[in-house]
Structure 1
Amino acid sequence: MLENKASKHDAVYDLKGLNCPLPVLKAKKRLAAMQPGSRLWLETTDPLAVIDIPAFCADSGHQLIETASVSGGHRFLVERGEQQS
């Protein structure tokens, strides 16, 4: 069961059209500038993002709150963790 704590105030980062490794690299930079506990929607079209984004979150201490398949790609709701890497 997915938690649906998404707020209309969560920021959206459009990474559509970018291929591996750019979605992860750009998400890493954007999340680094955010406060711990902040949430960010990542929107991607790269098919590898379904592997790369969860792995990035696990490695970086961020929490993957929700994933969704959407027309032409995927959306990921990531909560900024305490750890900076």
Structure 2
Amino acid sequence: MDYQIDVVVDAKGQKCPMPVLLASRAIKKLESGQILLVEATDGGSKRDIPSWATDTGNELLDNNSEDGVHRYLIRKK
């Protein structure tokens, strides 16, 4: 499914907890219903980003990994 991405967070090369912190800062600037794409290379993000999305009440629409880059689509609540 294709989504209209409103903001992209490039957290590639950042270690924990930076991908979550960068995503948190970015999503605060979005309106409800807008979509955030987070790209990270830290393996911990595979656990941390989905947990953060759930804990904050936002919707994890998709996550996938390709060539060592983990991508997360999150819709703001």
TM-score bucket of the superposed structures, by smaller chain: over 0.9
Residue 27 of structure 1: SS of its match in structure 2? helix
Tell me the TM-score normalised to structure 1 length.
Answer: 0.84
CA distance in 2, matches of 1:25, 1:77: 16
User: Which 4+ stretches in 1 moved above 6 angstroms?
Assistant: none
How far, CA to CA, are the matches of 2:2 and 2:55 in structure 1? 23
Q: Does 1:35 align with 2:3?
A: no
Alignment of 1:1-85 (within 5 A): 4-7=1-4, 9-81=5-77
Separation in structure 1 between the aligned mates of residue 30 and residue 49 of structure 2, nearest angstrom: 17
Query: Are 1:18 and 1:44, in contact at CA under 8 Å, matched by a contact in 2?
Result: yes
Larger Rg, first or second structure (1 or 2): 1
Q: Distance in 1 between matches of 2:6 and 2:73?
A: 9
SS in 2 for 1:64: strand
% identical equivalent positions: 35
Gapped regions of structure 2 (runs ≥ 5): none
Structure 1 unaligned residues grouped into runs of 5+? none
